[in-house]
Amino acid sequence: MATRFLWRTGKKLALVSTAVCVGGAAATVATSDDPETALKLFTAVPLRLAHGSVTAASIAFDYEYALWGLPEGSVEREKVKHEVHLRSARKLQELCFRNGGIYIKLGQHIGQLEYLVPQEYVQTMRESMLNRCPVSSYDQVCQVFKKELGETPDKIFSEFDPAPIASASLAQVHVARTHDGQKVAVKVQHTHMTDTAAADHATVDFVVTTLHWFFPSFDYRWLLDEMSESLPKELNFLVEAKNSEKCLDNFRKLSPHIAEYVYVPMVYWNLSTSKLLTMEFMDGPQVNDVKTIQKLGIQPNEVAKLVSQAFAEMMFKHGFVHCDPHAANLLVRPLPSSKSSILGKKKPQLIILDHGLYKELDFHTRTNYAALWKALIFADANAIKENSVKLGAGEDLYALFAGILTMRPWNRVVDSSVDHLVVQGTDNDRSELQMYASQYFSQISELLRRLPRVILLMLKTNDCLRTVNNSLLQGSSPHTFLIIGKVSSEALIEARLLQQKSLLRWLSVWLDEILLEARLFGMRIALWLLQLRKALC
């Protein structure tokens, strides 16, 4: 009975969704000013929707049928659930590659939500989505150039390599040289993104919403809400160009002490449009290429500290955060103005690429988030609860929120030891975290439903940074947490200074800053002693 019902449900979902889309596409062709493009939509969109609907129905059917009758919490159910997760992740992966465009973007989002979605999905998407993105032909690239700048690339540049050096879900990058000899990177939007972006978003939304209606436990509508807000901005490369300049300007004005160590490629505005972006070409290894970084005379732990500080400054002081800091978007090079030390070591400079996805934190969200991280670093249980509640986690899920942010169980979060938040990156640590995520999956879903979307993007950013740190250090380091504690505390002190009026209150803030430095100094000494003891043992 259940099997027949689910099968009929899958068929109805595919047929109804396709019928809806065919009707909409037919109306588009009839009223469009561009019949050729409209005809492409008419032929492509219903097929893409049908693929999505069938895949969604197949995944839903697999879960319900495979888990039918297995007791909740049993070893057998957990084993079968792992197998279904893996099968379903591969089906979703195949759909993303078949349809491309927004589907690839969705897969990339899932691959960066470590421990927020089942690990099988994260692993499957992470292993493929950044390396197998679609590539537009040179003819398609020329079409974009003609439409945007009126000429083909060979006329606009003295040199233009028709083979892209990188391709992502929304665009690909070509190396070129301007007529005055400057080497540049040219980002060209995939033509199909323009044709099908709106329709693809509607179809993905339809499938996910319908699945949630049939199976309430499947609720990733929050991810679609976020994509619907961020995608139009990411598809406008002029927004990306403005974001890149604002990012660099924020470091110069608000974080001048590390501005020299953070770099953003210069934009060539006269050669940029909403679908073309021409930037200074940057040469350097990705942040996870440890061997090349070491060959440059740069220590990986120094890069990890710089990445932690740069993004802590963005989150807690600037309130303007790059939300896609995966390894391909972070390059490293020796600081141009620095000289090698006696040991031949050089200071690193972090180059930040791809500025399409940013989030702004308002004053209260930024200060509450900074206060929460300060509390996490200093293991202050009362402050963790207070600020988690302020950010929307509620009094019942604040401990889970702290666990997701730190990837540590609650007893470790509130441990007073200096290295209480350190994750070693071992198989045992990963197994513990995956078990923790699986055990509280329903509560995690409820927490994600409650949290503001901007905080969900901060979770994604944290996961990206955690992955970067793991590649540099094979785990995390107490030194990076001390940096986060220092920057978050400084941000709170600066916020209080803005609100203080009297000299007496200003002195109170000044004393708080002295106490902070003393506390951090004590933690550094404790950390040094801990490391010395480990070395002696």
Arithmetic mean of pLDDT, 115-123 = 76
Arithmetic mean of pLDDT, 19-39 = 46
Does 41 map to a domain?
yes
Q: ∠ CA 48-51-53 to the nearest 5 degrees?
A: 110
pLDDT class for 12, splitting at 50, 70, 90? very low
Arithmetic mean of pLDDT, 505-523 = 63
What's the rounded Cα separation, in Å, for the pair 168 and 101? 9
Indicate whether 238 pLDDT > 60. yes
Q: Strand, helix or coil at 193? A: helix
Does 78 map to a domain?
yes
Q: For the chain, give the mean pLDDT.
A: 81
Tell me the two tokens of residue 444.
């995690």
Does 144 map to a domain?
no
Does 61 map to a domain?
yes
* pLDDT value of position 4: 43
Indicate whether 143 pLDDT > 90. yes
What's the rounded Cα separation, in Å, for the pair 368 and 389? 10
One-letter amino acid identity for 456? L
Assess contact for 50 and 13: CB atoms under 8 A.
Answer: no
pLDDT class for 529, splitting at 50, 70, 90? low
Lowest mean pLDDT among 89-103, 309-323, 455-469: 89-103
pLDDT tens for 264-309 read 999 999 999 999 999 999 999 999 999 999 999 999 999 999 999 9
Arithmetic mean of pLDDT, 69-76 = 85
* pLDDT value of position 59: 83
Q: Give me the phi and psi of 237, to 5 degrees please.
A: -70, -20
Q: Name the domain count of the chain.
A: 1
Indicate whether 241 pLDDT > 90. yes
Indicate whether 6 pLDDT > 50. no
> Crossing angle for the helix pair 398-406 and 453-473, nearest 10 degrees?
40
Does 192 map to a domain?
no
pLDDT class for 470, splitting at 50, 70, 90? confident
What residues make up the domain containing 88?
26-131+197-222
Catalytic entry in 195, 200, 289, 324 = 324
Does 277 map to a domain?
no
Does the pTM of the predicted model rise above 0.85? no
The yes-or-no answer on residue 380 being catalytic is no
Does 112 map to a domain?
yes
What's the rounded Cα separation, in Å, for the pair 205 and 106? 11
pLDDT tens for 347-403 read 999 999 999 999 999 999 999 999 999 999 988 999 999 999 999 999 999 999 998
Does 40 map to a domain?
yes
Length of the chain equals 537
For the chain, the maximum distance between any two Cα atoms, rounded to a whole number of angstroms, is: 79
